[in-house]
Amino acid sequence: MADARHPVPTVGVVCLKGEAVLLIRRGTPPRLNQWSLPGGRLEWGETTMDAALRELKEETGIDAELLGLVDVVDGVFPARPGGEITRHYVLIDYAARWTGGEPIAGDDAAEARFVSYDEAMALVEWDETRRVIAETYQRFAPDGS
């Protein structure tokens, strides 16, 4: 569990395959059973880019090339609305382009699949994740859509 006094650095990957984006349904807290981006915690001595590709492979079986940094987001989660903060993650989100593999849920993911942009916007509950996906499409999608 994260130390309440120190933010935990994590990575996320917005992986595009044509016009589709890769999502996972989380198998562990926080946001258990919610749709999100593949990702996870950095390991000691690991670069954020290496961590992003490792987490993508571990959670989904997908290989990709990183296209660039999308954003850095604070995930600050209280135990209950308005309550004491119990988790603080610093989410470093990268855009990537699929290069191989079929999505298979692994590691912390309960499910993994490519979905359309519209489906991603409907499935993902957290506003920040939807914003990062939208920004990725604006900046990195082949047609800029």
Catalytic residue flag (residue 128)? no
Catalytic residue among 43, 55, 58, 111: 111
Distance of CA 6 to CAs 47, 76, 120, Å?
A: 19, 11, 31
Tokens of 103: 């999505």
What residues contact 74, with CB distance under 8 A and at least 6 apart? 7, 88, 89, 90, 91
**Which of the residues are catalytic?**
111
